[in-house]
Amino acid sequence: MSRLLFETKTPTVPVAGSTDLFPVHRIYCVGQNYAAHAREMGSDPDRAPPFYFSKPADAIVQNGARIPFPLHTSELHHEIELVVAIGKGGCEISAIDALSHVYGYAAGIDLTRRDLQAQAKKAGKPWDTSKGFDRSAPISRIHRAADIGHPEKGRIWLAVNGKIRQDGKLEELIWTVPEAVAELSMYFELRPGDLLFTGTPSGVGPVQRGDRIAGGIDGIDEIAVEIAA
């Protein structure tokens, strides 16, 4: 009889309007999915196929948490994003079918060590340390698509210490939710419990120790976290 050496905990996200918890399997992210953000990052938003990176499932941070300032960065950036929660797995999903694989939606923050990312881009090195670090994925409750539908428009915003930094619209997404889910499933077998951060509008910027970050998406939810002093 084999025994597990350690107990590991499955990260979860609360489901709004119930006591259910959504168990997180993987966290995928789309890069540069709003034209104005692609431009502020020095890229040309040319509708080249979306590209993806990932974060570990346990990078999840619950709404209201206080996050210690990450190690080894002097430029921690906020990126507010629409997060898609996958409820039904599959691969090579068509865009027409993609929404039937979606369980619900949340507002998330793709925290980024921008200094390390800039170095990695320059050197052609991977993004793991700039994107996939501990506590890099704050997320609101998940709202079931059965309750709120599939949002295609609405304001997506983020404020630091009450001052608006990002103020975009979901309709500005270069790759829509069905397109981004379909394309992701060409590379990975999607599983129930997967999350997809769909990219951030323009206005990303640094946060400091003691800052309060709040963001939200119309018709979905809000997320607020604090960077520890």
In the complex with Mn ion, the residue whose CB is nearer, 32 or 185, is 32
In contact, 70 and 184? CB cutoff 8 Å: no
User: Who's near 206: CB < 8 A, 6+ residues apart?
Assistant: 75, 76, 77, 114
Nearest distance from residue 29's CB to Mn ion, in Å? 5
- For 112, phi then psi, to 5°, come to -135, 130
The nearer residue to Mn ion, 144 or 176, going by C-beta atoms, is: 176
Instruction: Supply angle C-alpha 108, 205, 135, rounded to 5.
Output: 40
Nearer to Mn ion, 80 or 214 (CB): 80
Give phi and psi for 74, each to the nearest 5.
-120, 10
Residue 30 Cβ vs Mn ion, minimum distance, rounded to whole Å: 7
Give the span between the Cα atoms of 219 and 203, in whole angstroms: 21
Query: Which residue of this chain has its Cβ atom nearest to Mn ion in the complex?
Result: 110
CB of 79 vs Mn ion, minimal distance in Å = 4
> Minimal distance in Å, beta carbon 189 to Mn ion?
23
Binding site for Mn ion (CB under 5 A): 79, 110, 200
User: In the complex with Mn ion, which residue's Cβ is closer, 15 or 225?
Assistant: 225
